[in-house]
Structure 1
Amino acid sequence: MKVIKGRGAVSDAASMRFNLPAREVDGDWLDAMETVDGRSRPPTTTVTEEHPRSILSFNKSPDVPFDRSLNAYRGCEHGCIYCFARPTHAYHDLSPGLDFETKLFAKPAAARLLRETLAKPGYRPTPIAMGTNTDPYQPIEERYRITREVLELCLDLRHPVTITTKSDRVLLDLDVLEQLAQRNLVHVGISITSLDPVLSRKLEPRAASPAKRMEALGRLAATGVPVHVSIAPVIPSITDSFMEAIIEDAADRGVRSASWIVIRLPHEVAPLFREWLDTHFPERAGKVMATIRSIRGGRDNDPNFFTRMRPEGVWADLFRRRFRVAATRSGMTGVQVDLDSTQFRRPSLDGQLSLL
């Protein structure tokens, strides 16, 4: 496979789960493009504005720590090859490969839709999770500022919110995050896979560099915003060697909680990841996949509740022990999110706040 500069996936194969036809590409035109231009044209990013009827997604999964989430965007320009959200693009007859990171959707009415939901008499507040599917601080957030609007609404209505991101763009909203933190209404997690910028450009080509993410962790911690470092995903024989150094570096910057998640490869992510391995690490591709299968019950992926979040086997036990020792040495604790939902002020549909 040929490396596509600035992108994670190396193909745009269609999903086979929904009997979608494979795309027919005008091969003659693509061949002529290099002849005429003298170079191949990289795929560009497009953004389509989406106008859904609602914005909160509710779930009853017994092994995730939240029951509602908000995703301002579909697709993610960060291009993380391991992203478990890639298969969702197949619902739109788009490829979970290159389409996922180049054909994006934005929901500019997210804050308005959220206000409408929070105004309903039957609504009961509990933390809203942002960044559980695609990153709320991917590059297009700098233009759309949808995440900013949602956070401002949460501050106005005193609604708790959690954020997971791979970007230092979270610092653009530091003023709002500080105010939320003063009221115990926010918790931020920043995910770091390695400390090697070269490896990061291959794994997550348009995410912030590891150094910038570390700096963001330190600034959030210094301003009193509850923050934790997520070593996610841990990829055997690719990123696992950075576990101890990530914990130590984050602890030195004042971060006091950490977590780790081993790589998951649901649906189309598995073949995309295999392509990526064969392209970037052909000499160890077999070893990496063998280790992943050993901790997933002999399969590329374990879709079952609980066990999907708790890998098994000698490699998983080794990662678990290494994390525990490093966290203890650095004074890290597990992630505990205990935000305050009692301050919530329900709005009326005309924008007024309730007097009660």
Structure 2
Amino acid sequence: MHYIKTKTILSQKNGMNMYRGCSHGCIYCDSRSNIYDMNHDFDDIAVKENSLDLLKKALKNKKKKCMIATGAMSDPYIALESKLEYTRKAMELVYRYGHGFTCITKSDLILRDIDLLKKINEKSKVVVQMTLTCMDDKLSKLVEPNVCTTTRRIEVLKRLDEEGIPTVVWLCPILPYITDTKENINQIIDSCIDTNVLGIICFNMGMTLRRGNREYYYRKLDELYPGLKRKYIKNYGNSYALPSPNNDELMELFIKRTKQHNIMNNPDEIFEYLHTFPSKNKSVQTTLF
């Protein structure tokens, strides 16, 4: 871990990352790709030490309330967050200045902040996005070694539902020849139904690989699944998109089951929901009605 200074904290679409890099160790992580020009080891987390000051200024000066998002490049609930609390402090600022909040995570550490999630949701809007890739906890520990198991993440989704906090699941990536089975997809969807997930984001059944990410992923395949790398190279070469050979069958299953249970399955529709700030402040509505 090391500290860095940053010039800005919010993107044009109001996304932010308090950390750069991640300690979850997911073997497929796109954020390892060279395209992002990270000038330090991915596992050596860069902490943006002035990010909270920049965020306070940005939120205070925003003329229009909006949804503030985090987790696109680095999980906001990496292990360091339990000590540094940058994500929690950012949420406190979001609440103070009346904005909404959404994040993508794989960590049960988010339950530490359930008090803030509820306060923001009562005032404006909160949506928690949870990534689920494989139901087998032993397999999950191989491909996502330093984060809580899928079973635990489902328990988190259940708790959030009980507290009235909306949730969305990212069903990706689905690793060809590893997690691309009907059993896996059905079990994940079952869990989403049981926990009242509003939407599931799934572009297709497969994954993506770019330079930097590809080399790391293949090294891990050699460790975990000797010989499988050759199959990947033979079938995909250096392609960016690696669709599962079972993609058509699994996507048909996904669309059918989500429609049956009124779960949003169109990524554009879900993204619009995630980024739409309530037209009226909830506390004002309560006062008026």
> TM-score when scaled to structure 1?
0.69
- 1-side partners of 2:244 and 2:179: how far apart? 18
Question: In the alignment, which of 278, 283, 286 is matched to residue 340 of structure 1?
Answer: 278
Alignment of 1:199-214 (within 5 A): 199-214=139-154
C-alpha contact (below 8 Å) 1:89/1:100 kept by paired residues: no
Alignment of 1:311-330 (within 5 A): 315-330=246-261
Instruction: Say if 1:281 and 1:159 are closer, same or farther in 2 by CA, change over 3 A.
Output: same
Aligned to 2:113: 173
Counterpart residue identity of residue 269, structure 1: N
Counterpart residue identity of residue 255, structure 1: V
Identity %: 28
Question: In the alignment, which of 186, 204, 217 is matched to residue 244 of structure 1?
Answer: 186
Q: For 1:194, what is the secondary structure of its paired residue?
A: coil
Alignment of 1:204-353 (within 5 A): 204-241=144-181, 242-261=184-203, 262-289=206-233, 293=236, 299-302=238-241, 315-334=246-265, 335=270, 336-337=273-274, 338-340=276-278, 343=281
User: Residue by residue, what CA displacement relative to the aligned partner does 1:178-231 show, whole Å, maximum 9, x if unpaired?
Assistant: 122223421111001111222112211111111111100111111111102211
Q: For 2:202, what is the secondary structure of its paired residue?
A: strand
Deviates more, 1:196-205 or 1:256-265: 256-265
Counterpart residue identity of residue 272, structure 1: Y
Q: Shift of residue 318 of structure 1?
A: 2.8
Aligned to 1:135: 75
- 1-side partners of 2:7 and 2:281: how far apart? 27
- 2-side partners of 1:90 and 1:119: how far apart? 29
Counterpart residue identity of residue 258, structure 1: I
C-alpha contact (below 8 Å) 1:231/1:258 kept by paired residues: yes
- 2-side partners of 1:230 and 1:341: how far apart? 26
- 1-side partners of 2:243 and 2:150: how far apart? 28
User: Does 1:156 pair with 2:93?
Assistant: no
- 1-side partners of 2:104 and 2:262: how far apart? 22
C-alpha contact (below 8 Å) 2:18/2:87 kept by paired residues: yes
Question: In the alignment, which of 48, 58, 62 is matched to residue 107 of structure 1?
Answer: 48
- 2-side partners of 1:203 and 1:148: how far apart? 27
Q: Shift of residue 284 of structure 1?
A: 3.3
Q: For 1:200, what is the secondary structure of its paired residue?
A: helix
Where does structure 1 lack aligned partners over 5 or more consecutive residues?
1-46, 59-66, 303-310, 345-356
C-alpha root-mean-square deviation of aligned residues, in Å?
Answer: 2.5
Instruction: Say if 1:314 and 1:77 are closer, same or farther in 2 by CA, change over 3 A.
Output: closer
Runs of 4+ more than 6 Å apart: 311-314
Q: Shift of residue 322 of structure 1?
A: 2.1
- 2-side partners of 1:300 and 1:88: how far apart? 15
User: Residue by residue, what CA displacement relative to the aligned partner does 1:254-311 show, whole Å, maximum 9, x if unpaired?
Assistant: 32321224312122111211221122112433344555x3xxxx64205xxxxxxxx8
Q: For 2:172, what is the secondary structure of its paired residue?
A: strand
Instruction: Say if 1:88 and 1:166 are closer, same or farther in 2 by CA, change over 3 A.
Output: farther
C-alpha contact (below 8 Å) 1:159/1:343 kept by paired residues: no
Aligned to 1:119: 60
More helix by share: 2
Aligned length: 271
Counterpart residue identity of residue 223, structure 2: T
> TM-score when scaled to structure 2?
0.84
Q: For 1:106, what is the secondary structure of its paired residue?
A: strand
Counterpart residue identity of residue 11, structure 2: S
Q: For 2:53, what is the secondary structure of its paired residue?
A: helix
- 1-side partners of 2:146 and 2:106: how far apart? 10
C-alpha contact (below 8 Å) 2:2/2:47 kept by paired residues: yes
Q: Shift of residue 73 of structure 1?
A: 0.5
Aligned to 2:2: 48
Instruction: Say if 1:252 and 1:343 are closer, same or farther in 2 by CA, change over 3 A.
Output: closer
Deviates more, 1:157-166 or 1:133-142: 157-166
